[in-house]
Amino acid sequence: MPAPMVDVREAAERHRSGQAVLLDVREPSELAFARVEGALHVPMREVPRRLAEIPRERPVLVLCHHGGRSQVVADWLLAKGYVAQNVAGGIDAWADEVDPSLSHY
């Protein structure tokens, strides 16, 4: 079963309030263009070996550029027993709907 999606506005609110962990799975080079303050950054390929860094006590909202990589990671985390959701539209939608100061790339 695929991990559910969460829209960027709800994800932003849950991240800001501390209700959820925002996990950014983009590559380090992508962070130079746009990053969300306070997000946990673990590139997709490093998630399995860095799993212990991802808190289990709060839901994990997974973010990438457009939502493809984050869906894969959210599905994987869900299978590992995490409460995980994919942030629909990724950082691209975040820049459009939450923080227009972020760059598009």
| C-beta neighbour count of 75 within 10 angstroms | 16
Catalytic residue among 64, 73, 77, 93: 64
What three-state secondary structure class fits 86? Answer: strand
58 is catalytic: no
Q: Sheet harboring 60-63: ordered strands across?
A: 5-6, 84-87, 60-63, 21-24, 40-41
Q: What are the catalytic residues? A: 64
